[in-house]
Chain A
Amino acid sequence: MESAALYLSLKLAFWTCCLILPVAIIVARVLAWGRFRGKAICEALVMLPLVLPPTVLGYYLLVGLSPSAGLGKLAGQLFGAPLVFSFNGILIASLIANLPFAVQPVQRAFEAVPMNVRQAAWVSGLSNWQTFRHVELPLAWPGIVSALALTFAHTLGEFGVILMIGGNIPGETQTLSLALYDRVQAFQYDQAGIMAATLLAISFIAIAIVHATARRSGARVNG
C-alpha cells in the first residue's frame, strides 16, 4: 500500500477539519439565528460547492491561484512558492469544497437548540459568550462531530479539483484517491484494490459516525 498517499490524504483531511471548524461554527450560528438582508444569498453561497461540478471549482482555482494571477502572485510571495500543484493549494480547494459539509450539520444542530433554553440562560445572567460556551456548544456537539466526520471522509474522496489544481505529484498532491486512479492506469490492480478497500472502510466509518451522532442529537434535544 502506498503509505505516502495515505499519509497525505490523512494530513489533508486533518488540516481541512482543523481550519474549517471555527469557520463552520461561526457561519452556521449566524445562518441558524441571524436575520439579515441577503441571508438567502449567503446560504446559497455556502451550499454552492455541493452542486458545483468539481471541474468548475478547479478551473476557477487554477485561474485564480496561478502565479500569473494577482491572487496567486500575492500567495506566492506569502508562502514563497506557487499555490497551484502544492499542498497548500489543494488545502485551499479542500476548504472551499467542504464548506457545505461542515456548515450544514452544525447549522441544523444550532437550529435544534430550543429558543427557551437560550432565553433561560440569558435570564440566569449568562452573557452571550457564556451562553454559547456552556449551553449552545454542548447541545450542538453531535452536529459538530457529524460535520467533522463528513468533512474528513469527503476530503479523502476529493478527486476532480485535486487532479486539476494539484496535478499528480507523489508526496505533495497525490492523495489516496489520485494514487488509486494512477495505479489503475499503471495496471497495478492489486494495489488499487487495497486503496479502494481502505477508502471504502474509512467512508463507511465516517457515515456510521454521522448516523450515530444524529440519533444521539435527536435524543438530547427531546430529552
Chain B
Amino acid sequence: MINRVLALPLAAGLWLAASCAPVASAAENATLIVAAASSLRLAVSEIASVYRQKTGQQVKLSFGSTGNLVRQIEEGAPFTQFLAADEASAERLVQNGKASGPAQVLVQGRLALAIAKDRTIETDAQLQGIKRALGNGSIRAFAIANPKLAPYGKAAEQALQRAGLWDGLNGHIVMAENVGQAVQFVASGAADAALVAEALLKAPAVSSSVRHVPVDTSLYDPVRQSMVLLNSAGQQARAFHAFLRSEDARSIFAKYGFDVPDL
C-alpha cells in the first residue's frame, strides 16, 4: 500500500530533482534581471523580445511600482538595472551607492484619463467631465496608483488637486499597488474611471474596454522616467542598457506614446 501511495510523488520528486541541475545553470547564464516600473511593461517587454531575437540574450523583467522596486533594490534584490517612472528614485540609488552609473532620462510619459467602456462620463483633457460626473453621482470608484509608491499615482494626485477634484473624490479613490493594477481596475469595469499611464492603454485587451484622453500637461509635473545601472551590472547589462537608447527601442517607446528625448 505504502509503495502505491508513494509511487507518484516519488516519481515526481525524482523528475524534479533530476531536472534541477540544467535549469539552475541556465538561470545563472541569464545575468540580465531588469527591474522596471509598471508603466513601461508593454514597451519594455516588446523591446526585450526584439533584443532577444537580435542577440539571443534572454532578458528577465520584473515589473512593479517604482517605490516597491527601489525598496527591493535597497534590500539586496539581484537586479542588474532599474527603469523607474521618475527621476528621483534612480538618483536616490546613485546617492546611496546602489547604482554604478549616472541616472539617465529614458522617456517622458503621459498621464491619461481612462473611462470604463459602458460609462457615460465625458473624456476631456481638463477633467471637467469628472467634475460633472461627481455632481450627478455617476462616479463610485476612481482608480489611481498609490502616490506613495508610484510616480504616476503622484501625477494623478497632482492633476486631481489642480483640477479641484481631490476633495470631491474623497471616498471614491481606489488605490492600486502600481499603475498597471489601476489600469486593470478600470479595464475590468471595477472602477468607473482612472488616471493612469497612457502607455498601458495600448494593450489590445485594454483599448477595447476603455475610452481615454491624454490629460492636459499643465495639470501635472512632467513624468521623466530615468534608468540606471546597478552595482551587479555586467557587460550584458551594459549592452542592453545601450540598446534601450537605440533607434529600435526609441521607435517602440514612441509607438506606446512615450516622448523620447533627443540624445
Contact = CB atoms under 8 A, between A and B. Distances in A.
A and B together in one complex = yes
Interface of A: 7, 10-11, 14, 17-18, 62, 66-67, 81-82, 84-86, 138, 141, 145, 148, 152, 167-172, 174, 182, 184-189, 213
B76 A82 contact: yes
Given A82-B76, A138-B2, A168 B63 contact: yes
A155 to B, nearest CB: 13
A86 B78 contact: yes
29 contacts: A7-B19, A7-B23, A14-B13, A14-B17, A62-B75, A85-B75, A85-B78, A138-B2, A141-B2, A141-B5, A145-B6, A152-B9, A167-B64, A167-B72, A169-B33, A169-B60, A169-B78, A169-B79, A170-B61, A171-B27, A171-B60, A172-B33, A172-B78, A174-B62, A182-B63, A185-B38, A185-B181, A186-B42, A189-B205
A171 B30 contact: yes
Contacts of A188: 205
B131 interface: no
B150 to A, nearest CB: 12
Given A10-B16, A185-B178, 18 more contacts: A7-B23, A14-B12, A14-B13, A18-B13, A66-B75, A82-B76, A85-B78, A141-B5, A145-B6, A171-B27, A171-B30, A172-B27, A172-B33, A172-B78, A184-B184, A185-B180, A186-B45, A186-B63
Contacts of B5: 141, 145, 213
Interface size class of B (residues with CB under 8 A): 35 or more
Nearest to B77: A85
A169 B13 contact: no
Contacts of B75: 62, 66-67, 82, 84-85
B227 interface: no
B9 to A, nearest CB: 7
A170 B62 contact: yes
A188 B5 CA distance: 38
B62 A185 contact: no
B184 A148 contact: no
B91 to A, nearest CB: 22
Interface in B39-91: 41-42, 45, 60-64, 72, 75-79
Interface of B: 1-2, 5-6, 9, 12-13, 16-17, 19-20, 23, 27, 30, 33, 38, 41-42, 45, 60-64, 72, 75-79, 178, 180-181, 183-184, 187, 203-206
A82 B79 CA distance: 12
A18 B20 CA distance: 15
The interface residues of chain B, by DSSP majority, are classed as: helix
A157 B225 CA distance: 35
Contact of B60 (A10, A14, A170, A186): A170
Contacts of B1: 141
Nearest first, the 6 closest Cβ-Cβ pairs linking A and B are: A82-B76, A85-B77, A185-B180, A187-B205, A187-B203, A67-B76
Nearest to A182: B63
Contacts of A67: 75-76
Contact of B63 (A11, A148, A185): A185
A35 B13 CA distance: 36
Given A18-B13, A170-B60, A187 B206 contact: yes
Nearest to A168: B62
A169 B183 CA distance: 22
A167 B178 contact: no
A103 B1 CA distance: 22
B20 A11 contact: yes
A107 B178 CA distance: 43
Nearest to B6: A145
Nearest to A141: B2
